[in-house]
Amino acid sequence: MTAPDVTSGTSDDRFSEVLALIHGARQQAIRAVNTQLIELYWQVGAHISRKLERAEWGDSVVGQLAEHLARTQPGLRGFTRSNLFRMRQFYEIYHAEEKVAPLVRQLSWSHNVMIFGQSKRPEEREFYLRMAIQEKWSKRELERQFKAALFERSVTQPAKISTALKQTHPSALEIFRDAYMLEFLDLPGAHAETDLHQGLLARLKEFLIELGRDFCFVGSQYPLQVGGRDFALDLLFFHRGLNCLVAIELKVGRFEPEYLGKLNFYLEALDRDERKPHENPAIGVLLCASKEDEVVEYALNRSLSPALIAEYQVQLPDKLLLQAKLHEFYALNVGQADED
């Protein structure tokens, strides 16, 4: 009896462990090469910075260096005049920031150039460095987050969460946002809840990226049965870091206080009937088209459930306006610090 022919298949479970080892080794090699490349750019930037600072070189010498490398090192890429000046800028920005400098070696050169090129403040650079590493953003997604003014929104518009959520999940403020950008859905200004719901399911990958890396999709119109009656939760996720279910209810209009009662009901049902013994209490998110902060504050103040209320936006925000608000925020806080 001959052995079955498995050579024609595209995969074989017998070899999955070897393939995993190869894949892991390749990823480690890529990371090692990137680390070495960033270290090289750092050292070249440091060398150019010192030469210019001591007036041993003028700016024209940097251009001559680029020409020399192009002539004597054919095939060498990335050492153009403009990129050499970027290496100098890269070194000069980060060499005195001991807390941040190690982070730059964990990202690609294109990620780094975008972050130090577009950030206006040191804390903004650190924010995007940490977020890009944590969320493993592609260059395209990083660019999107800059356009969406994620830093400005995170500082000036922190998430609105209940006291119960602060107590049960202290790190929730670092995970959830006050507003989520859903411009990738291409929804018109006037749209129905079914349009929003179906759009999120159709673009689930993009929605998960916007929510954050640790969110895992569980189900849509998730069935809950209480007292012989059937209910359906719009969207259910699980957050690995918080170790809990996250219920999301969608509202295409303005937030109304009564919405919170229904969400609390769903959270109670999840905790009683769906939560596993090792999991933390479920969190609820009301994702609305708009909200008034004072109404949200009143509604959440007496809520006993770990919940939050956030907006979704179908267009990217006005970044210049948010930058102006950020400037006012810092000016106000500096003024208060001086008074203290």
Per-residue pLDDT of the chain (340 residues; tens, 9 = 90+): 444 444 444 556 777 887 777 787 887 777 788 889 999 999 999 999 999 999 999 999 999 999 999 999 888 889 999 999 999 999 999 998 888 999 999 999 999 999 999 999 999 999 999 999 999 999 999 999 999 999 999 999 999 999 999 998 889 989 999 999 999 999 988 899 999 999 999 999 999 999 999 999 999 999 999 999 999 999 999 999 999 999 999 999 999 999 999 999 999 999 999 999 999 999 999 999 999 999 999 999 988 899 999 999 999 989 889 999 898 988 887 655 555 5
Say what the pLDDT of residue 7 is. Answer: 43
Q: Please, what sign has the CA dihedral across residues 133, 121, 333, 319?
A: negative
Who's near 284: CB < 8 A, 6+ residues apart?
246, 247, 248, 249, 263, 264, 266, 267, 305, 306, 307, 308
d(CA 180, CA 189): 16
Say what the pLDDT of residue 8 is. Answer: 44
Say what the pLDDT of residue 1 is. Answer: 47
Q: Please, what sign has the CA dihedral across residues 271, 277, 280, 285?
A: negative
- Give the containing element (helix H, strand E) for 253: strand 244-254
d(CA 279, CA 143): 35
Amino acid at 119: S
- Name the burial class of residue 339, with classes exposed (0-12), middle (13-18) and buried (19+) by CB atoms within 10 angstroms of its CB: exposed
**pTM of the predicted model, to two decimals?**
0.85
Other beta carbons within 10 Å of 170: 9
